[in-house]
Structure 1
């Protein structure tokens, strides 16, 4: 009998295993009655980064990325309410999530305003936090966030293609086998395996996903709300993601024609799942430039 070939997830590269082995501190803070969980890496509070996940995701999507950004300072990733290990609410909106980002940044003890990095729906949250808290945010980076009326996750929920009432699976392996990205894309198997394993929780009768389906009932982010924040802004778009060149141009105009638009080659929408090192390189380069340049004045 020929033994089965090992899965690529069983032999991840050294950079990935080293990143996951990096100690992370788990903590929480309370925002409007809800406990908001977050993880932090690195030491020193001079420069801080806050990582914001997308819809139905959670802080563990950043586990292999955050340790690679600690050269820029302490890195924090939070679970927005209704996601991950944070509490659920009766209803959700961008302003509440933006306040959670601000509260986690304050709890992390940064000595100066942080840079906030948000993916997909987390980009909406990031831009809203920058608008609400102005000088208390040093920079806002959005990653494949298409500023339009609805995200692909919300569209899938509305069309009942995904994110419906949570199913309970009889065992852990059955739940893990159901993990899918929305929109579907190629992923690095070892990254996808880690994200899947941290996306489920044990409940009576089996296993289910951690997110609250009601997150998709929130009011939508209108492009009319997109104005230039009082901080530096950058837009990352995945080559094969959801941000078209037309959407990029519209965002550039609305952000005061001063936000760089950076494309990540060969990446799908969930950049941290297929091109994490390219994402890290782009963020590191951008932060180094911001450290040694003056903000551009919008024309």
Structure 2
């Protein structure tokens, strides 16, 4: 794909990708992003640590998918600004032949696409500019067909994405359409914001995003279970980030997980395999 075009970065309003980059301590954000992210941090200070735990979950989950489920293909939607190690670096470290297709609709991610395509010689990566609410454009993209073999298992990773897809866009239907194109043995790895621990503060956070033109909808763990219907959940099921298999990370993750209060972990996470 061409990565040298100059997209409209829409600097007149905040970008979820750039706000998340700010939470992670990155530099690829602007004043409009820092203002909005600052409001969220003021409202919910743990978000900075939660964002890092969300990345740590991605690393644990994708390593598990490669080592235990034997998956070698990944479709990562809602990629965001590259933050090393990127997903392809994690999985290709375990199995260099892994193939990864990244997808995002934020033009700022396009400007960083080269970093997402530095594959091992044995594997391959590519980037598709597309909207998650239109799964047919993702599944029908020729770039995807060149990199992924949809007759073989694929891990669909939706990390901190679906809370930006409001119910009016049928998020469960979107995920089901994506999974319907993938064969038995494929998997879903997903994280999502929950407002269960602080309903009032959560409503305020939703308003911060929506007032700045960003669709946002929190969902409880029970609501999140609908995304995994028809799949076999991997133990421990749908859990808070720090409770999902911390022993699969480094020793620090395992130790730190014991010290985290549930109320300071505003994301649920899950991994499931398609029978």
Larger strand proportion of the pair = 1
Give the TM bin, normalised by the shorter chain.
Answer: 0.3 to 0.5
